[in-house]
Structure 1
Amino acid sequence: MNDDHDDRATTDPATEAFVAHRNLLFTVAYEMLGSAADAEDVLQETWLRWVEVDPDQVRDRRAYLVRITTRQSLNRLRALSRRKEAYVGPWLPEPVLTAPDVAEDVELAESVSMALMLVLETLSPTERAVFVLREVFDIGYDEIAAAVDKSPAAVRQIAHRARRHVDARRPRATVSASETRAALESFRRALETGDLQGLLDVLAPEVVLMSDGGGVKQAARRPVIGADKVARFIVGGSGKATGVLTVDPTVVNGNPALALRLDDELDGILALRVEDARITGLYYVRNPAKLTRVDSETTLTLR
């Protein structure tokens, strides 16, 4: 018996539709929440609501599923905001290992970059939902209005306000992956050799370093600002490390990053923001609870 044919025959329309759009729904939830673990929970909640619906009565299954996912994400985003208030030190998005082809999709890579995800953290939950659905996924105002329980006119205003807010804070220009890789490689060499001057050469004067230990691993409680302070913080930290430090290139959130290991144990993921060939932002995630999605690839998509 042909197993593939058998699977098709036994798969019901509700399951088929959910599986077909699962990667899209995960990406929507992840961009709204900045947490892969919470995005997975949202997908579970979306599925439980979806199976109660008769798919034959749904005109556009993709739109309907996105609407459920958005509502569940909004509920969770509000709860997450309270959790972040009690978080120890800076809160950074949970990094996810992505396939190399995500980096080739410039729009997708920028939308899930650590730099932009941190900007999205400064929006209200509704503004974030509207921005993500409109600017990232190009969903129509009427559809967004149904998802966030606002009028289309109100959604247009929210979208305009959110876009202005994000544009004022996002990286000024899109940087090519090769330019980012070059800065990353210079930084990696300087980090591995403890070369203070090498770090200063690749760091922008106004560079900001944020480290997230979640109160479990040691990290700076506040952002470290300025090339000299950041370089000394990094060299001092690597000098105190007990064990052999290795620094390997990787790709998280569609962008080049570094995986730092001590005696082959993952210590953290370092993502960066590059502008004009210099590093302007460093985001070091050390909280072990946020390092569960960097061993196997997560599929992200805008479609």
Structure 2
Amino acid sequence: MTEDRDRAKAPGSSREGPPPWLGALAEACGDELHRYCGGVLGDAEAERVAVLAFAQAVEQEARAERAGPVELEPLRATVLAMAHNRCVAEGRQERGSAPQHSRGSEDERRAMQALARLRPIGRDVSILRHGLGLRWDAMQRVCGEPPARLVLQVCRAWRRMAHLAQGRPGQPPVRRPGGRALSEREEDWAAIREDARAHAELRAALRRAVEHGPGAAPGWVERVWPAVEELRAREREAAERERQRLASREAEAEARAAAERAEEQAANDAQERAAKERAAKERRARAEAEERAAAEHRRAGVRRATMGAMLVVLGLMAAWLAMR
């Protein structure tokens, strides 16, 4: 990639069709993108993953709808970052094949064979650093990891590659820096510099192997915009599913709230009925008590009247007897 292409600019993007800068970006980074994906996953998966990663980067930039010209060099880092995420994820899922390389010198083939036996993240950082020649700050933007961690990953990957390239079984001996955090201690950096010197030829062989790898196939960029539209369709489907999920949750929440309101209303109605029944029962009890009291009062009146009448009769009888 030339410096002029790195600084290339194009007008702003549009979500209605392919942005005008898509072709320039594909020309600027298409070959290195395909070689990177091929180095991590193998040539069979390189174009598929490259197209998807490129489409993701294009869609992300198109969605931003920035005013003014588009800088292609930052987009190159975005493309590699998307490819990094996909390559590592698919490598962990064992969807990609181990990279194979039958071209070039014996040193190049041996370097690629050793690379193929690394874990996906080891292949990834090795190609980014020494296959594509990225600086540590650029690797940080692509991988999203601090430089100190990337240094450790690269050192461990190269130590392992050198061990495998020499035909040695098992893991290489543990040397500084080990699995701990990188420190300011001189012995840590001395070990790193020693590794850099010891593995210089292997790094050069890997760089040549990556450079000799197949770049972008003719017409590959024509598959990018359909992939972007497919991504958008999936986003719309995901958004619709999310909308339906939220609507379903809202409906369920409203149904629960309505059920709770109905239950509360039923409880209130039951309490009100119970209160009315208690009041009616109390009124009946009072009425019955009043009725019993009135009946007792009437019976007492009758008894008094009867007693009075008997006294009158007795008085009359006494008077009659006295007159005789």
Greater share of helix residues, 1 or 2? 2
Question: What's the TM-score bracket when you normalise by the shorter of the two chains?
Answer: 0.3 to 0.5
Greater share of strand residues, 1 or 2? 1
Greater relative contact order (Cα < 8 A, sep 6+) = 1
| TM-score between both structures, scaled by the size of structure 1 | 0.42
